[in-house]
Amino acid sequence: MGNDMLGAVLGIESTAHTFSMGMVNSEGVPTPSVSSMLQPKEGGIHPREAADHHADICENVLQELLSKEELKISAVAFSQGPGLAPCLRVGASVARSIATTLDVPLIGVNHCVAHIEIGREQCNCDDPVLLYVSGGNTQVISRVGDRYRVLGETLDVGIGNMLDKFARINGMAFPGGPKIEKLAAEWLEKNPNPSMEGLELPYAVHGMDLQYSGLYTAAKHMVEKGTELGAVCWSLQEHAFAASVEVAERALAHTGKTEILLGGGVACNTRLREMVTQMAEDREGSAHVPDRMFCVDNGAMIARLGWLHLKENEQTALEDSAVNPQLRTDQTVITWA
């Protein structure tokens, strides 16, 4: 504290499909971001197309944010990694040019750590185990010393990518997670008290790690053999979420921590939120579930982490501001918590 530079921070997010800008005020409190998500009519996210989308839209996003925010920008934070290189580069370029024009500090931040920090801020939890479930990432993370350590993670695809791909082969456009959720909920309404009989799928938990591609293939075959799509969506969610929550629970048991925090786009899912809450209740711990706008990729979470760095007098020199698509959660030293 006592940092003269500490004021409102602008945050720029561009790791994948979403370009978003958001702010925190001088106290580090976030406001809703302005975001634009690439939604291809068919197929998945192509890195080059997403980068073009970000470059086309960034000026409008900035204009819209400035029209609602009266805060004076005193630093600019951006996602330095991990993510898709062409997309990251757009955000970094925009951040460099705004910081240089305004002559304010530039701060490159770790996207995964930003998901944790916005959750801690929003849910007022102190030392949680984070179940980070997004498109590209599925990790169970907890702080040990001065790092957020990855205690368990997917050994193949991220849970969101798996859901998006299953949705896509069944005719649902990106993002598929919310569409699967809707079909599953509609099926459940027509089939209260469902049984898993005939709907079993493989369940791949390996100690603290997870795999989702076997689950995807089995679900795909189940639909091909004629099982109703809504029933398969329901079973797919039940299996994928139960496996993820099981690993998170093991992490709580091993670390002796009591707070479980959800983050990442898949954390928007109501059924997953329910399962995590139930697990915390059973263990007499506490579940922390941020508002959905702070679970998906958003500029405000980048601003929040930039603000935390700035509080510790940490900023990024222009020559160190190259993006790092492979940046790992545990590469960032935690100086603030």
The residues of the shown chain that bind ligand ATP, judged by CB under 6 A, are 15-18, 83, 111, 134-137, 158, 160, 163-164, 175-178, 181, 264-266, 268-269, 296-297
Which of residues 74 and 111 has its CB atom nearest to ligand ATP in the complex? 111
Burial of 268 (0-12, 13-18, 19+ CB in 10 A): buried
Q: Which does 296 bind (CB under 5 to 8 A by kind): ligand ATP, Fe ion, none?
A: ligand ATP
> Which residues make Cβ contacts (< 8 Å) with residue 294, sequence separation at least 6?
30, 118, 119, 122, 300, 301
Q: Give phi and psi for 259, each to the nearest 5.
A: -100, 130
Q: How far is the CB of 101 from ligand ATP (least distance, A)?
A: 28
Binds 321, which of ligand ATP, Fe ion, none (CB < 5 to 8 A, cut-off by type)?
none
* Cβ neighbours of 143 (radius 10 Å): 19
Q: Decide whether 105 or 119 has the Cβ nearer to Fe ion.
A: 119
Point out which residues bind Fe ion (CB under 5 A).
134, 297
Q: Indicate the residue among 11 and 105 with the shorter CB distance to ligand ATP.
A: 11
Nearer to Fe ion, 93 or 134 (CB): 134
Which residue, 249 or 297, has its beta carbon nearer to Fe ion? 297
Residue 160's nearest CA partner among 41, 218, 51, 244 is 244
The secondary element (H helix, E strand) that includes residue 52 is helix 47-68
Q: Provide, rounded to whole angstroms, the least separation between the CB of residue 27 and ligand ATP.
A: 25
Query: Closest approach of Cβ 278 to ligand ATP, in Å?
Result: 17
Strand partners, 131: 140, 262
Q: How far is the CB of 203 from ligand ATP (least distance, A)?
A: 18
CB-CB contact of 91 with 68 (8 Å): no
> For 159, how many CA atoms within 13 A lie in the half-sphere containing its CB?
33
Q: At closest approach, how far in Å is the CB of 215 from ligand ATP?
A: 14
